[in-house]
Amino acid sequence: MLKWLGPVAMTALIIGSCSQKSDSALMTAPVAGSTEEAPVAVPTPPSVEGLPAGEYRLDPAHASLVFTVNHLGFSHYTGQFTRFSAEMTLDPANPAAAQLTATVDPASLSIPSPPDGFVAELTGDKWINAAAFPQMTFKSTSVAVTGSNTANVTGDFTLRGVTKPLTLAMTFNGGYVGHVQDPHARVGFSATGVLKRSDYGIDFGIPAPGSTMGVSDEVTIAIETEFTGPPLATPAP
């Protein structure tokens, strides 16, 4: 008799345990029609941790430099520059020490469906004056980390021979150390900034105070970039 009392007792314990778990689950399970919502998972922001330190160069095939101005108060008129380059020094262990330089060809201005002669006017001496000033440049002077994947990058921006400080709010979108089809580290960033064109001697067409009749003094910049970096490390044999 003692031989089967042991298994019976064990079975009873297991059934009892399962019953308690089921009751507990029923008590904590959401009731049909309840307004209680399940918790939403918050994605973890990407991090530069694990990426190789070194020199990174802009991949022009995966980059854009777009600007927007307010036109008459009716629309946000958009254009872009299609030829530009950039280099960045990145140390994931010390993001605040990052350095960035960029060069833009102002003659590469592109706007949607321009009237005849309009691009030539905008790149002429009343506006960008690309012939006299064939480069726009940016050179970072400081990096202030503002979050796990964000930073404010301040630097000297030169346009039409005038240099002024410009701050870009940058977001790190992700990256990898490389793989077989792309054997170099790759990182991606988005950036935005605002400047006043009058600071650089471009004051033609700015609306009078209290009016929107013209083209805004403020120019909003939106940048999308990917950089390629150090080669993928070859595993030791």
Each residue's pLDDT tens digit, 39-72: 776 677 788 888 999 999 999 999 999 999 999 9
Question: Residue 78 belongs to what domain range?
Answer: 54-231
pLDDT tens for residues 168-210?
A: 999 999 999 998 899 999 999 999 999 999 999 999 999 999 9
Does some domain include residue 35? no
Written as six digits, the tokens of 97 are 């020490």
Kindly state the average pLDDT of the residues 217-237. 90
* Residue 30 lies inside a defined structural domain of this protein: no
In a domain, 2, yes or no: no
Count of structural domains, the chain: 1
For residue 115, give both structure tokens: 């009237």
Q: Tell me which residue of 147, 164, 227, 177 sits closest to 155, measured CA to CA.
A: 164
CB count, 10 Å around CB of 161? 11
The DSSP symbol for 179 reads B
Does residue 48 sit within a domain? no
Q: What confidence score (pLDDT) does residue 163 get?
A: 98
Residue 44 lies in a domain: no
Q: Note the pTM of the prediction, 2 decimals.
A: 0.80
The confidence score (pLDDT) of residue 38 equals: 67
Q: What is the CATH number of the domain that holds 142?
A: 2.40.128.110
